Amino acid sequence: MEEVLQQLEKKVRSLVQPNDQEWQAFTQKWRPFSFDKNHRVSNLGEVEPYFYFISEGVIRGYFIKNGEEFNIGFSYHDEYSGVYDSFMLQKPSQYALETLTETSGIRIKYRDLMPLFDQYKVFERWGRLFNQSILVGFGVFIQSILADSAEERFNRLMDQSPHIFQLVPQKHLASYLGMSAETFSRMRKKTM
């Protein structure tokens, strides 16, 4: 667990600088997790109790409409994960999380994180800066889905996250980009 806490510390310290006492209080609340491939981490309609930090593996977030799955994002090594709106609001989730590979890391419960926000200004700031990055990222994603061509969306993903093509199955990437598997395959062959 020490190694993953070091990974988390690097990620947290990219935004804020907790002192030793603050960091100790923060790390005491995180617990290890490990899931097999294709494990349902969070279910539709349930309240998300955890916020995750992934050390190894890949998790996808998705929702279902008319029996069809729509991927909304992927989390992997050195990234946070969870159904964040459900976690923060403690309301039933409209999304599900599922592992695409064996996945491990650490997680913190809602009831443990919220008092840290209240007690330590540094972690409240970390939460605010994290929320800011999520909102900006979703704004870019929504603009791209609404206004960019399939080719522009594919190229943006290729430029921003080329490693994801090795981590995530093609059908999930196609869904995430809002295109058919055939269109995705054609674009991949053209650029790779």
pLDDT at 60: 97
Q: Rounded to whole angstroms, what are the CA distances from 34 to 59, 78, 81, 100?
A: 12, 15, 14, 13
Give the pLDDT confidence of 26-56 residue by residue, as tens digits: 999 999 999 999 999 999 999 999 999 999 9
Give the pLDDT confidence of 125-163 residue by residue, as tens digits: 999 999 999 999 889 888 988 999 989 999 999 998 898
Give the pLDDT confidence of 2-35 residue by residue, as tens digits: 999 999 999 999 999 999 999 999 999 999 999 9
Residue written as tokens 């800011």? Answer: 132
Whether 171 shows a pLDDT value over 70: the answer reads: yes
In order, the DSSP letters of the chain are -HHHHHHHHHHHHTT----HHHHHHHHTT-EEEEE-TT-EEE-TTSB--EEEEEEESEEEEEEEETTEEEEEEEEETTEEES-HHHHHHT-B-S-EEEESS-EEEEEEEHHHHHHHHHH-HHHHHHHHHHHHHHHHHHHHHHHHHHHS-HHHHHHHHHHH-TTHHHHS-HHHHHHHTTS-HHHHHHHHHHH-
pLDDT at 141: 87
Compute the average pLDDT of residues 62-77.
94
Whether 84 shows a pLDDT value over 80: the answer reads: yes
Give the pLDDT confidence of 117-126 residue by residue, as tens digits: 999 999 999 9
pLDDT at 95: 94
Other Cβ atoms less than 10 A from the Cβ of 162: the count is: 10
Give the pLDDT confidence of 60-69 residue by residue, as tens digits: 999 999 999 9
Give the pLDDT confidence of 177-191 residue by residue, as tens digits: 999 888 998 988 887
pLDDT at 192: 67
Give the pLDDT confidence of 89-119 residue by residue, as tens digits: 999 999 999 999 999 999 999 999 999 999 9
Other Cβ atoms less than 10 A from the Cβ of 165: the count is: 14
